[in-house]
């Protein structure tokens, strides 16, 4: 909410109306590249936490870090997805 300017309830309403949550965030003044950077930073922080808390092997850490870009792309696609009438 601090980053996007949109509450969970507002995001739910946007999705239910068939609109794109990503576009609503952009309309609030956050660029798509800033959204992407936010997701990447959050994912990197999560990997750091997992590595520290669970003493992951270098291989496991590398695998997690390699998966971040795919994760971010899927999140961006989901965020900017527009519901279509069926």
How many of the other CB atoms lie within 10 Å of CB of 22?
A: 21
How many of the other CB atoms lie within 10 Å of CB of 39?
A: 19
Band the pLDDT of 25: cuts 50, 70, 90. Answer: very high
Is residue 1 predicted with pLDDT exceeding 80?
A: no
The Cα–Cα gap between 12 and 33 comes to 23
Q: Give the DSSP letter string of 37-51.
A: HHHHHHHHHHHHHHH
pLDDT at site 71? 95
68 contacts 40 by C-beta, under 8 angstroms: yes
Measure Cα distances from 59 to 17, 39, 67 in Å: 43, 22, 12
Specify the pTM.
0.85
pLDDT at site 15? 92
């Amino acid at each position: 909410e601090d980053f996007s300017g949109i509450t969970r309830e507002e995001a739910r309403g946007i999705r239910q109306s068939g609109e794109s949550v990503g576009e609503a965030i952009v309309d609030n003044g956050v660029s798509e590249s800033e959204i992407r950077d936010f997701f990447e930073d959050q994912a990197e922080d999560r990997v750091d936490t997992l590595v520290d808390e669970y003493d992951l092997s270098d291989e496991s850490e590398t695998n997690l870090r390699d998966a971040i870009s795919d994760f971010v792309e899927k999140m961006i696609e989901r965020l900017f997805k527009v519901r279509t009438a069926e």
